[in-house]
């Protein structure tokens, strides 16, 4: 088992270093942050098991920081507040926000180790509980008994044991990310991590740090290539990759290694690359939007991920699967689908693929009355769905912009509206739009979308 990763946030360097030394001596992995800004960055970039958080800091106080983190949903890991002069009010507020414990300064080493041990244990138990609650998420074995789906799984099984890059070619929503996770779970690297790098959220000016990491004094901020060391790096949607990011990745692939920003040390590459792309990615090469050499590197073992219209016989299984998941995980009311309703849905072409099935089942469970979803209701919903499709999706004013500008404008409007529907809760938004929370934060920041405080 790898060492627990602890983030120590304190503006006093001697306390920070003392706590770091004590914890490292105990075999923990420690990252230190001197202010709220550094703490936020570390939390986004690392998978942490515990945060030790000072209240008083020069930029933003610990309680405000905790409130920000709690607003996105449950805290991902326990937080222990360290303070020498906390008041009852701050203690009450921190507990309400989900802080695990208080550590009084001056710190006693015995107390520190005792509370760290207890908090890590509590974090482990909470993770187990969450795992038990979300029995089927993240999906490990993709659903589908059709011959098309079985053959796709067989292909993945065959390439899983090799080390060469895999390119999953398919339309959006067909399950490329799901298959990439499945591939990882079947590979000899399954003990390592699966890192999902959403390429559309990578801005050229911070891509180097996100990919290669940064050395800051003794502190190494891990980049994606480091986090995925021994595991799999999933390059999610090659068509969204900025030219500068393409150049950086190509240089690392050619050299077989990279240096973290701020360091001259060379790190050898040790990741399995799996990428997803639209079936017509070669056209982006023809148009000069994607590097041929990079595509050659990634397109070693191509796998075509079929659209759902090619294996409609799996639609009833997918509906059943999503009814179970949504009832179990989101507490939605259980509903049966009549045979006629299932048959009609089976014959629908599903342009949005499996993602569309999931969203539609969600709407049926959340909106319809009664215990059974019947044919009429399905017809009504499909009419609505088709109307949505014929409505011109791209408005005239967007047509005058470059694709990049148009995408940015759309993404901003889309996320702002969704954020409003989620009552400003980033955790809920992440679930709703299907992005990992850290990527979503990065994306919101890149688009200049403010997350309302309180």
Ligand X SMILES: Nc1ncnc2c1ncn2[C@@H]1O[C@H](COP(=O)(O)OP(=O)(O)OP(=O)(O)O)[C@@H](O)[C@H]1O
Interface ranges with ligand X (CB under 6 A): 139, 142-144, 170, 172-178, 237, 276, 318, 321, 354-355, 358, 434
Q: Of 46 and 146, which has the nearer Cβ to ligand X? A: 146
Q: List the structure tokens of 64.
A: 């405000």
Please, what is the minimum distance in Å from the beta carbon of residue 12 to ligand X? Answer: 44
Residue nearest to ligand X (CB): 175
The set of residues, in sequence order, having a beta carbon less than 8 Å from that of 249 and lying 6+ positions away, is 211, 235, 241, 294
- Distance of closest approach, residue 49 Cβ to ligand X, in angstroms: 26
Q: In the complex with ligand X, which residue's Cβ is closer, 42 or 438?
A: 438
Q: Of the two residues 43 and 155, which places its CB atom closer to ligand X in the complex?
A: 155
Q: Tell me whether residue 67 or residue 362 sits nearer to ligand X (CB atom).
A: 362
Q: In whole angstroms, what is the distance from residue 338 CA to residue 364 CA?
A: 13
CA distance 309 to 148: 11
Min CB(233)–ligand X separation in Å: 15
For residue 335, the 8-state DSSP code is -
Burial of 55 (0-12, 13-18, 19+ CB in 10 A): buried
Contacts of 393 (CB under 8 A, 6+ apart): none
Q: Which is closer to ligand X, CB of 3 or CB of 140?
A: 140
Token reading at 415: 């996320």
Say how far apart CA 314 and CA 26 lie, in whole Å.
51
Both tokens of 99, joined, read 């802080």
Rounded (to 5) percent helix, strand, coil in the chain: 55, 15, 35
Radius of gyration of the chain (CA): 24
Residue 174 CB, shortest distance to ligand X, in Å, is 4
Q: Measured from the CB atom, is 86 or 170 closer to ligand X?
A: 170
Q: How far is the CB of 235 from ligand X (least distance, A)?
A: 11
Beta carbon of residue 200, minimum distance to ligand X (angstroms, whole number) = 10
Burial of 89 (0-12, 13-18, 19+ CB in 10 A): exposed
Nearer to ligand X, 172 or 209 (CB): 172
Cα–Cα distance between 60 and 66 in angstroms, integer?
Answer: 10
Between 58 and 434, whose beta carbon lies closer to ligand X? 434
Residue 148 beta carbon to ligand X: minimum distance, rounded to whole angstroms? 11
In the complex, minimum distance from the CB of residue 333 to ligand X, in angstroms, rounded to a whole number: 21
Determine if residue 297 is left, alpha or beta; phi over 0 gives left, psi from -120 to 50 gives alpha, anything else beta: alpha
């Amino acid at each position: 088992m790898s060492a627990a990763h602890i983030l120590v946030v304190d503006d006093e360097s001697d306390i920070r270093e003392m706590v770091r030394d004590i914890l490292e001596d105990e075999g923990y992995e420690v990252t230190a942050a001197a202010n709220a800004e550094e703490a936020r960055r570390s939390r986004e970039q690392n998978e942490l098991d515990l945060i030790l958080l000072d209240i008083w800091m020069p930029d933003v106080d610990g309680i405000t920081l905790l409130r920000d983190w709690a607003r996105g949903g449950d805290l991902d890991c326990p937080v222990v507040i360290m303070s020498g002069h906390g008041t009852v009010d701050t203690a009450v507020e921190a507990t309400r926000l989900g802080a695990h414990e208080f550590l009084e300064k001056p710190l006693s080493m015995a107390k520190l180790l005792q509370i760290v041990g207890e908090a890590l244990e509590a974090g482990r138990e909470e993770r187990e509980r969450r795992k038990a609650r979300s029995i089927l998420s993240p999906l490990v074995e993709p659903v589908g008994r059709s011959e098309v789906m079985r053959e796709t799984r067989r292909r993945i099984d065959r390439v899983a044991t090799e080390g060469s890059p895999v390119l999953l070619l398919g339309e959006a929503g067909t399950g490329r990310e799901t298959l990439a996770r499945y591939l990882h779970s079947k590979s000899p690297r399954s003990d390592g991590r699966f890192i999902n790098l959403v390429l559309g959220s990578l801005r050229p000016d911070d891509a180097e740090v996100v990919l290669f990491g940064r050395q800051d004094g003794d502190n190494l901020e891990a980049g994606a290539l480091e986090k995925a060391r021994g595991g799999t790096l999933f390059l999610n949607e090659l068509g969204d990759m900025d030219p500068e990011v393409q150049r950086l990745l190509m240089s690392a692939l050619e050299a077989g290694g990279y240096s973290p920003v701020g360091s001259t040390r060379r790190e050898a590459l040790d990741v399995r690359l799996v990428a997803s792309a639209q079936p017509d990615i070669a056209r982006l090469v023809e148009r000069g939007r994607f590097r041929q050499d990079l595509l050659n590197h990634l397109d070693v073992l191509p796998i075509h991920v079929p659209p759902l219209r090619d294996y409609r016989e799996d639609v009833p299984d997918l509906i059943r699967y999503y009814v179970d998941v949504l009832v179990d995980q989101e507490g939605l009311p259980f509903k049966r689908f009549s045979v006629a309703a299932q048959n009609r849905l089976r014959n629908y072409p599903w342009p949005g693929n499996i993602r569309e099935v999931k969203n539609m089942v969600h709407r049926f469970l959340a909106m319809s009355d009664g215990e059974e979803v019947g044919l009429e209701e399905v017809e009504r919903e499909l009419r609505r769905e088709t109307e949505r499709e014929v409505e011109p999706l791209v408005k005239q004013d967007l047509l005058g912009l470059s694709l990049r500008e148009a995408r940015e404008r759309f993404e901003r409007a889309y996320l702002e509206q969704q954020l409003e529907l989620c009552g400003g809760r980033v955790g809920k938004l992440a679930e709703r739009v299907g992005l990992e929370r850290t990527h979503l934060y990065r994306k919101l920041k890149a688009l200049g979308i403010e997350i309302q405080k309180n």
